Amino acid sequence: MKLKKYAWLLVAAVFIILIVGALRSEGNTTTILDDDFEEVAPEPKFFLTLPADTLRFEDHTIASGESFGALLGKRGISTAQIYQIAAAVESVFNVRKIRAGVTVKFATGDSSLFPSYFIYPESTYEYYIVSLKSDSIYAKKVEKERTTRRKEISGTIEDALYLSVNGAGGTNALAMSLVEVYAWTIDFFRLQKGDSFKVIYEEEYVDDTTYVGLKRIIAADLNHMGNDFYAFPYENELGFNDYYDEEGRSLRKTFLRAPLNFTRISSRYSGRRFHPVQKRWKAHLGTDYAAPTGTPIMTTADGVIIAATYTSANGNYVKVRHNSTYTTQYLHMSKIKPGIKDGVRVKQGDVIGYVGSTGLATGPHVCYRFWVNGKQVDPYQQKLPDAKPLEADRMDAYRAYMMDLKKKLDQL
């Protein structure tokens, strides 16, 4: 009997302990929720540095003939304030340069009837913000953060270079950049069907989806007539990035092969050619590059302008002396670039004028003339001097950097 009595007492004690523990546990849980878990405020949202949580945004596409003043006037801003805003921001944002077809934004505060900000996209990643508030008028340029993606393509040239690059997944910008890299090394007017290319390059994006443009070519191999031409960017002793081959030789020559990008040669240097305007046979001591009117013309080497003028035969033309040996001339320009005149120093690749058909010309082109020691010659028959190779003390580091990229190119 006593054993049964003690057993019941033990069961009752355990039961009481469990109930008390449960009650304490429930009480403790409630205390933890009240004391230790606080409601977290949401992160504030911004659009181009503006507080998006407190602003209402309205898109508007600028119509033809619609001015900055008209845009603001329709939204209740007075004419006097519009003039005040335009004058205050002119040094940063010229309101007269807004373009039809561009979609702009107006941002208005929650408690305001009138817009507080005008947002104008300069490009896919550059924006102007104009504060329209009477007590705080200003303009600033902001940029969206850009991300970089590395890409690799390879392909065979079946037609024009830019078509082949596009067919392999590249862009026109990449094709143009390849022309610039190899401008001194390869005659792009003589590319052959079956030549090939391999390129490692970087592109920039905003919002991880919107393409901004080509950033740079990291490595390239252009196989022309069975020969590989490698290109790797590397910093020289002057701190400038240039492109070098696998032996550290610069791909750059003292002269560009042509004063234009992506044109066709409409007439080569010749001792006897039928002149299309004068209707007679005569020597043609230049190379004609056909291109659309307004195409930029570049000086093919560093030098000094010795003529920038007009004649009835040459039209608008520029002549450049590069040193005691070499001189070049560029004829039939639609116009000479402002600032290009006698005595002005120019660097290789500087724009000196624009394609036209002034003088004795039947269509838009530039006639490129080349002198060696005072005698006009065919530039395509000249062995032009190379730029300096990499310095010896840089070669070990360059080889280590280059070999990894070359291996990746060879595996494409």
The average confidence (pLDDT) of the chain is: 85
Residues 6 or more apart from 80 whose CB is under 8 A from it? none
Per-residue model confidence (pLDDT) at position 18: 53
Which one is predicted more confidently, 280 or 347?
347
For the chain, the farthest-separated pair of C-alpha atoms sits apart, in whole angstroms, at 142
User: Which residue has tokens 């408690």?
Assistant: 111
> Homologous superfamily of 264-381 in CATH?
Glucose Permease (Domain IIA) (2.70.70.10)
Distance between CA atoms of residues 144 and 309, nearest Å: 44
Residue 61 has pLDDT above 80, yes or no: yes
The answer for residues whose C-beta is within 8 angstroms of residue 60's C-beta and 6 or more apart is 71, 103, 104, 105, 106
DSSP 113: S
Q: Domain ranges in the chain?
A: 46-143, 146-244, 264-381
Show the tokens assigned to 193.
């069907």
Q: Do β-strands 303-311 and 345-346 pair in parallel, antiparallel, or remain unpaired?
A: antiparallel
Local confidence band at 272 (pLDDT 50, 70, 90 cut-offs): very low
**Percent with pLDDT over 90 in the chain:** 55
What percentage of the chain carries pLDDT values higher than 70? Answer: 83
Cα separations in angstroms, 276 against 280, 312, 332? 8, 16, 14
Please give the CATH architecture assigned to the domain spanning 46-143. Roll (3.10)
Paired tokens of 82: 């519009």
Contact 140, 92 (CB under 8 A): yes
The pLDDT tens digits for 108-117 are 997 788 999 9
Q: Residue 168 has what pLDDT?
A: 95
pTM of the model: 0.60
CATH code for the structural domain at 146-244: 3.10.450.350
Domains 46-143 and 146-244 share a fold: yes
